A and B are shown apart, each in its own frame.
Chain A
Amino acid sequence: MIHVAVALFLLLTVVLGMIRIVYGPTVADRMMAAQLFGTSGLAILLVLAWGMDMPELIDIALTFSLLATLATMTFVRRVWYEEGKSDDS
């Protein structure tokens, strides 16, 4: 029961993070909200793995954290890339 309550609370932090998507001045702020979803989603998955007694969720959490990282890195490389400037200036 405790685990489900913790998962619900983490879901609340995810919802709070959505406010940053609305107000985020730069596109990077919106991307940071996506990274927050990655970490909090990972925590929710782990807590639910214990709450619902499903150890498979741990592997899902592992891949989820990997994908969240790739999303951020792809964002930096593709969306925010300045044409013409060398990358490692």
Chain B
Amino acid sequence: MTIPEIIGLACIAAGIPFFLSGTIGMLRFPDIFTRLHALTKADNVGLGFLIIGLCLQTDDWFIVIKLVLIWVLVLTASSASCHLVARRALQKGIRPWTRE
């Protein structure tokens, strides 16, 4: 196991809690806006760590470029769709949760 592979495994291990927190956040948060926030932000950070870990474990530059492009696509796509859903929820009259 060379040094980059070990660091890669560490990065993958670092990304896992973000996925878990994204899912738990989606289950426990009170209203749709906070769930959207948890879902898109946490998973993207987890995916970022995962992709960094995987990039370290390969020596083919083409795969690294493809992975980074996937991450950029997922970042822009999930933030755009998250904004769309939140905007539509506001228009439909779903007010954000406030602590009474």
- Chain A interface (Cβ < 8 Å from any Cβ of B): 2, 6, 9-10, 13, 16-17, 19-20, 26, 28-29, 31-33, 35-36, 39-40, 42-43, 46-47, 49-50, 55, 58-59, 61-62, 65-66, 68-69, 72-73, 75-76, 80, 82, 85, 89
Contact = CB atoms under 8 A, between A and B. Distances in A.
Interface string B68-100: 011001100110110011001101101000000
Main secondary structure of the interface of A (DSSP, over half): helix
B16 A9 contact: yes
A76 to B, nearest CB: 5
Contact of A82 (B20, B74, B92, B94): B92
A66 B24 contact: no
Contact of B70 (A13, A61, A69): A61
Interface of B: 9, 12, 16, 19-20, 22-24, 26-27, 32, 35-36, 39-40, 43-44, 46-47, 50-51, 54, 57-58, 60, 63, 66-67, 69-70, 73-74, 77-78, 80-81, 84-85, 88-89, 91-92, 94
B70 A76 contact: no
B94 to A, nearest CB: 7
B23 A13 contact: yes
Contacts of A40: 19, 23, 43
